[in-house]
Amino acid sequence: MKKISKWILLLLLLFVLVGYMTDLSSSKEITSIKEFENDRSQSLLSPNRIVNIAHRGASAHAPEHTLVSYEYAQKMGADYLEIDLHMSADGELVAIHDQSLERTTNHQQLVSEMELKEIKALDAGSWFNQKNPSVANDNFAHLDVPTLTEVIEHFGNEANYYIEIKTPKLYPDMIDKLLEVLSAHDLLRKDRREGSVIIQSFSAEALQQVHKHDQSIPLIQLLKQPPEDPNAIKQYAVGVGINFKSLDLQSITELRKADLLVHAYTVNQPDEMRKLLEWGVTGIFTDYPDLLAGILG
Which residues does the annotation mark as catalytic? 55, 97
> What is the SS3 assignment for 222?
strand
> What is the SS3 assignment for 11?
helix
In terms of C-beta distances under 8 Å and separation of at least 24 residues, what long-range contacts does 224-232 make, across chains too?
226/251, 226/254, 226/255, 230/254, 230/255, 230/258, 230/260, 231/258
What's the rounded Cα separation, in Å, for the pair 83 and 152? 11
Q: Is 150 exposed, middle or buried (0-12, 13-18, 19+ CB in 10 A)?
A: middle
> What is the SS3 assignment for 50?
coil
In terms of C-beta distances under 8 Å and separation of at least 24 residues, what long-range contacts does 261-265 make, across chains too?
261/45, 261/47, 261/220, 263/51, 263/53, 263/220, 263/239, 265/55, 265/222, 265/241
Tell me, rounded to whole angstroms, the distance of Cα 30 from its chain centroid. Answer: 28
Q: Give, for 200, the enclosing helix (H) or strand (E).
A: strand 197-201
